A and B are shown apart, each in its own frame.
Chain A
Amino acid sequence: MPRKPQLICPAGSLPALKAAVDRGADAVYVGFKNATNARNFAGLNFTDQQLAEGIAYAHRHGREILIAINTYAQAGRVAEWRKSVDRAAEIGADAVILADFGLLSYAYQTHPQLRRHLSVQGSATNFAAINMAHECFGVSRAVLPRVLTLPQVEYVIKNTPVEIEVFGFGSLCVMAEGRCILSSYATGQSPNTHGVCSPAGFVRWEPEGQRMRTRLNDILIDQFEAGEPAGYPTLCKGRFEVEGDTYYALEEPTSLNTLSILPELMKIGVSAIKVEGRQRSPAYTAEVTATLRAAIDAAGDAHYSVKPAWQDALTKVSEGHQQTLGAYSRPWR
């Protein structure tokens, strides 16, 4: 029987971290309150003291804390990123999740005992890239960008000694992570440089009668008529005009949901299933953790099927209340 994958859950705050541990996450990933972290949002993330408390709580329950230091160190400020790696080591994190190869090199040489995971922002989509990170920096796990089909994921797993972690639920990036600068094109700030995408400081909600327009740095991303729920203007999920057609030219507002393929993910040897959403509430973390926990525990059963209650729970917290298998099934292929 295939080994049960670990469940890796997001926490943007101490209450979310505790909720994830309480509801059955095997590991919780978190970030510091600075630009080293790809969810660098106001009011989110951990001070050293909160992190120490969170790590103690997780370890008391036999779970792990992974610290994401997954933006790219900016020239002239490399010390900030290195210091964050040092802090993660000192504070007793179980692993760091890194994207920048220079930083991986630093972590490997300075803190060889601290486990290193290759972040999804590292943008390694094939085994050659992953094996290089393993050979050069002793990376023990890689998180795959959400662009591969199931057979492609399996092909990677068969050709690498590195554990493979994949996204199981959460908001969907339709672009290869780490290779998208749409956000800085519109606003000057991107995931790679500032740890943000379509940052809130540039968002304008513009009501006009019954209509709502959403803008990002003045660029019209979408407009919603009366009765249409208005969504956050993530710029790849807006409606635009291409040759006379107005539609979601790049991607619909939708969430990834892999409940229906958990047995396949286990069979091909995925080591860990990751939930997106450090920017979401503790209630989100609790709901999704409990649901994925139950589903992963059942997925080894020959008679596994997705329970309607799980589906309902995830639909409630999905972006645009829509879900997709994303690249795994490639409906567009």
Chain B
Amino acid sequence: MQLTLGPNLYFWPRQQVLDFYADVASWPVADVYLGEVVCSRRHEVKTADWLALGTELAQAGKRVIYSTQALLESASDLMGLKRLVEAGGLIEVNDLGAVEIARKAGIPFVAGATLNIYNGPTLDWFAAQGATRWVPPLEASRETVTAILAEKTCAIETEVFGHGHLPLAFSARCFTARHYTLKKDDCQFKCLEHPDGMLVDTREGQHFLRINGIQTQSAACHSLYDDLPQLAAAGIGYLRISPQATHCRAVVDAFAARLTDASAGSDLAALHPQGLVNGYWHGKAGIALQPNE
């Protein structure tokens, strides 16, 4: 099983992004996903910059996959995607419209978690359109993923979302702008002030959700660190770590160490003050934490 670094879901200043990926070049990850997947208003890093970053990372030995926006609504959203596809290379599609563009262009793609692949025949259909890898829905349990893999007839790689704040929902509305009572089209790019999103707590102080523009995430960090030994056995080829503003390198190193030595231990909880969860993988509510057996 190999590690991948998922697309950055947050909005960071340009220099922070460039510094981050300069560092990533030396990390123990096989694949790096680049690109903006959340909001079409985020332009600190432009398409040409992403492509240049991709070239550099490829020279450093990484496989680069360009991730595309999760909610394609407007004409310009579709055009932006077409440019990325025409530039060549591997892409991850996170919207059905992107599947159409990829298959018409005849390029292979990674079928993202929001394409809603819950069974074997559906996975087979996406593979027939050109998917060479897929990411199961984030709410899929180990049992579900195993059942889908048993049911499929296509040959395809499987990548599981292994560590990060879970992107749970997408909206037309921007919740960050709403918090500041700003209009979405005049958001003053407030997301830049929240490199890991904004916490949404219950009125009892429970950390519940996390606002990230039009995306709603889990407040806690979903982590399959404790489940690593069983993951490879389940036929999972790739494990995704989702970028975060702090401790990302430490997280990647901890996973890499445990992949080479199953007895390696690391206190990831100390790096995640809003807590760790793994309920989805164990067939429970996503917010649950199944203790290590």
Contacts and interface: CB of A to CB of B under 8 A. Distances in A.
Given A175-B216, A184-B139, A193-B139, A241 B203 contact: yes
A174 interface: yes
| Interface size class, chain A | 35 or more
A2 interface: no
Contacts of B169: 175-176, 179-182, 236
B283 A76 contact: no
A239 interface: yes
A102 B286 contact: no
A240 B109 CA distance: 38
A241 B119 contact: no
A249 B118 contact: no
Interface of B: 70-75, 77-78, 95-101, 103, 114, 116, 118-126, 137-139, 144, 147-148, 150-151, 166, 168-175, 177-179, 183-185, 198-206, 208-209, 211, 216, 218, 279-280, 283-288
Contacts of A178: 116
Contacts of A249: 175, 178-179, 200, 209, 211
A219 B185 contact: no
B211 A242 contact: yes
B202 A241 contact: yes
Nearest to A241: B201
A55 B138 CA distance: 38
Contacts of A245: 179
Interface of A: 72-76, 78, 99-103, 105-106, 122-129, 131-133, 147-149, 152, 155, 174-176, 178-182, 184-188, 190, 192-193, 217, 219-221, 223, 236, 238-243, 245-246, 249-251, 327, 330, 332-333
A104 B202 CA distance: 40
B203 A246 contact: yes
Given A75-B119, A179-B71, A241-B203, A186 B99 contact: no
Contacts of B125: 101-102, 105
A188 B71 contact: no
Nearest to B148: A75
A126 B203 contact: no
B147 A75 contact: yes
Contacts of B98: 128
B202 A126 contact: no
The list of the 8 closest CB pairs from A to B, nearest first, reads A102-B122, A129-B96, A147-B172, A128-B97, A75-B147, A102-B121, A185-B286, A132-B100
A3 B218 CA distance: 45
* From A106, A133, A185, A193, residue with most partner B Cβ within 10 Å: A185
Contacts of B200: 240-242, 249
Contacts of A106: 121
B168 A126 contact: no
A192 B284 contact: no
Contact of B73 (A72, A126, A192): A126
A128 B101 contact: yes
Contacts of B100: 128-129, 131-132
Contacts of B71: 125, 147, 176, 179
Nearest to B198: A242
Contacts of A155: 74-75
A159 to B, nearest CB: 9
A190 B141 CA distance: 13
B185 A72 contact: no
A250 B150 CA distance: 38
B183 to A, nearest CB: 6
Contact of A129 (B99, B178, B184, B206): B99
A151 B286 CA distance: 37
Contact of A192 (B137, B172, B204, B286): B137
12 contacts: A75-B119, A75-B144, A76-B151, A78-B121, A101-B122, A126-B97, A181-B286, A185-B139, A186-B285, A220-B204, A240-B208, A332-B184
Contacts of A73: 118-119, 121-122
Nearest to B279: A188
Nearest to B186: A333
A124 B116 CA distance: 12
Contacts of B137: 181, 192
Given A126-B72, A133-B96, A242-B201, 12 more contacts: A76-B150, A101-B125, A103-B122, A128-B78, A175-B171, A176-B170, A185-B287, A186-B287, A219-B202, A219-B206, A241-B203, A333-B184
A330 B283 CA distance: 37
Contact of A78 (B119, B206, B211, B279): B119
A174 B202 contact: no
